[in-house]
């Protein structure tokens, strides 16, 4: 049996018309001799009646500080509605299909509500359905705790993670991530007018892009696919475009795709909003205090990114919701600091940049040409990022997209 996983995002399952397009993609897979395992997100985006954000608001209207357990159970309803509606759509078209919650699909997680990690997947139930030619329609983004059967969610964008994890557990031939754009693009299409669609990108590169804000796929999904070497294909529900293949190799065949790879220096530009930068004065005579500060931030549950550390100063960024808490830790430990709020991060990602001279010069010159001040840079051998004021983010993305000839 050739199993594939087909994941459909919120905009793909929102109306009768979009669900007809989903149905066509599932029918095509069956016609091509694959047994599809379908994963769905909640229907629509903020404002739609059963979208995740609508469900969150409904509960917050009742109680702003509602318990995380109830919030997770509430959020799980969105995918369950979507899975039932999609299964009913398929049944009406004569396709044998059943809706499954994450738990019924065998997805067991830890009990970190809101950001649970998949611990294991018991595939017996799904395999039995596939053996009987029944298409499972699995609720994305959710699982169930091991011992006490509580609903958990995997964090926003978690349906991608469900799809990749099922792909890995079922040894699927590949995992298709269907969305509302034709594939992974060289930059956010809401910022750059006509970004190119990539034929192919490596797991490592799209993982970097996703961690740096490219919303098209969840980075955890990419990590899971990478560790089990399941190819991912990001493509559009509403067109016949071939989409973007994500694998380890730069040169690949298979999955029905003939791919020409263009080895440009950078692969894509990513952007992230909603961060703040801290500059903390350190005492060179007391390095232990500096080290302890990061232990204190970690034990306060604050995730620190973009760290630049010298004898006299530590610069780092945190997400907006952690700003107040970070200030408190710094004040409690008597550090002097400067806070830059309203920041964003722009990043250039590309495996081919590794060791190439002049990449940093191209990056800095592009931002300078738009008079954008860089608050801080961080780089690895495949990514260069700059923290800048959020209001310059769009200009920065456009300038870098041009400078790196994407
Ligand atoms: P879904 O609900 O299908 O999971 P998402 O909204 O999570 O869809 O992701 C798709 C969106 O990601 C696109 O509509 C696009 O605006 C945005 N996006 C951001 N960066 C990129 C990129 N580099 N390539 C493609 N899409 C991107
Ligand atoms: Mg998504």
State pLDDT tens for residues 31-77.
999 999 999 999 999 999 999 999 999 999 999 999 999 999 999 99
Residue from 230, 28, 247, 254 nearest 135 by CA: 28
Please, what is the average pLDDT of the chain? 94
Pocket test for ligand 1, best of 141, 177, 178, 181 (most atoms within 8 A of CB): 181
Q: Are 210 and 216 in contact (CB under 8 A)?
A: yes
Q: What is the pLDDT of residues 312-341, one digit of tens each?
A: 999 999 999 999 999 999 999 999 999 999
Neighbours of 252 (CB within 10 A): 16
Question: Which tokens is 128 given?
Answer: 């039995």
pLDDT for the residue 251 = 44
Q: Does the structure show a pLDDT above 80 at 161?
A: yes
Q: Are 370 and 336 in contact (CB under 8 A)?
A: no
Give strand ranges (E) for 226-336. 232-236, 244-247, 268-281, 305-309, 313-319
Average of per-residue pLDDT across 184-198: 97
Beta pairing, strands 174-179 & 135-139: unpaired
Q: Whose CA is nearest to atom 26 of ligand 1?
A: 216
pLDDT above 70: percentage of residues in the chain:
96
Beta pairing, strands 151-153 & 142-145: antiparallel
CA of residue 218 to ligand 2 center, whole Å:
7
Higher pLDDT residue, 171 or 256? 171
Question: Which tokens is 244 given?
Answer: 């973007």
pLDDT for the residue 252 = 39
pLDDT above 90: percentage of residues in the chain:
90
Residues 6 or more apart whose Cβ sits within 8 Å of residue 7: 38, 39, 40, 41, 140, 159, 160, 162, 163, 175, 176, 177, 178
Q: Whose CA is nearest to atom 5 of ligand 1?
A: 216
Q: What is the distance between the alpha carbons of residues 216 and 202, in angstroms, rounded to a whole number?
A: 15
CA of residue 164 to ligand 2 center, whole Å:
13
Q: What is the pLDDT of residues 280-309, one digit of tens each?
A: 999 999 888 888 999 999 999 999 999 999
CA of residue 316 to ligand 1 center, whole Å:
27
Q: What is the pLDDT of residues 214-266, one digit of tens each?
A: 999 999 999 999 999 999 999 999 999 999 999 996 543 444 444 444 446 89
pLDDT for the residue 264 = 65
Q: Which atom of ligand 1 is nearest to the CA of 269?
A: 23
CA of residue 303 to ligand 1 center, whole Å:
24
Q: What are the pocket residues of ligand 1 if the criterion is a CB atom closer than 6 Å to any ligand atom?
A: 9-11, 41, 157, 179-181, 184-185, 187-190, 214-216, 268
């Amino acid at each position: 049996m050739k199993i594939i996983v087909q994941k459909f995002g919120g905009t793909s399952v929102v109306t009768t018309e979009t669900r007809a397009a989903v149905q066509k993609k599932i029918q095509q897979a069956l016609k091509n001799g694959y047994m599809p395992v379908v994963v769905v997100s909640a229907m629509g985006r903020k404002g739609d009646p059963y979208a995740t954000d609508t469900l969150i608001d409904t509960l917050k209207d009742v109680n702003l500080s509602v318990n995380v357990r109830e919030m997770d159970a509430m959020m799980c309803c969105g995918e369950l509605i979507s899975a039932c509606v999609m299964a009913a759509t398929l049944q009406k078209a004569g396709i044998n299909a059943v809706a499954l919650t994450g738990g019924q699909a065998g997805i067991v997680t830890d009990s970190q509500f809101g950001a649970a990690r998949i611990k294991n997947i018991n595939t017996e139930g799904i395999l039995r359905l596939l053996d009987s030619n029944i298409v499972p329609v699995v609720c994305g983004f959710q699982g169930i705790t091991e011992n006490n059967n509580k609903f958990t969610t995997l964090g926003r964008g978690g349906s991608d993670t469900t799809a990749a994890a099922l792909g890995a557990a079922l040894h699927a031939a590949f995992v298709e991530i269907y969305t509302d754009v034709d594939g992974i693009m060289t930059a956010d299409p809401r910022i750059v007018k006509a970004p190119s669609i990539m034929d192919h990108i490596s797991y490592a590169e799209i993982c970097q892009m996703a961690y740096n804000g490219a919303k098209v796929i969840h980075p955890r999904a990419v990590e899971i696919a990478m560790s089990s070497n399941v190819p991912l294909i990001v493509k559009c529900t509403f067109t016949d475009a071939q989409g973007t293949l994500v694998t380890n190799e730069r040169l690949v065949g298979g999955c029905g795709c003939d791919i020409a790879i263009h080895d440009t220096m950078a692969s894509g530009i990513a952007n992230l909003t909603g961060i703040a930068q801290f500059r903390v004065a350190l005492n060179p005579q007391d390095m232990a205090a500096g080290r302890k500060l990061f232990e204190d931030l970690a034990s306060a549950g604050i995730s620190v990114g973009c760290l630049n550390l010298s004898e006299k100063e530590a610069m780092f960024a945190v997400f907006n919701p952690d700003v107040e808490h970070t200030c408190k830790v710094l004040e409690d430990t008597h550090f002097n600091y400067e806070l830059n709020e309203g920041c964003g991060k722009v990043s250039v990602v590309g495996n081919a940049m590794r060791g190439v001279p002049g990449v940093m010069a191209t990056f800095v010159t592009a931002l300078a040409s738009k008079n954008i001040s860089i608050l801080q840079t961080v780089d690895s051998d495949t990514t260069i990022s700059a923290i800048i004021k959020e209001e310059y983010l769009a200009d920065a993305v456009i300038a870098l997209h041009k400078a790196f000839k994407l």
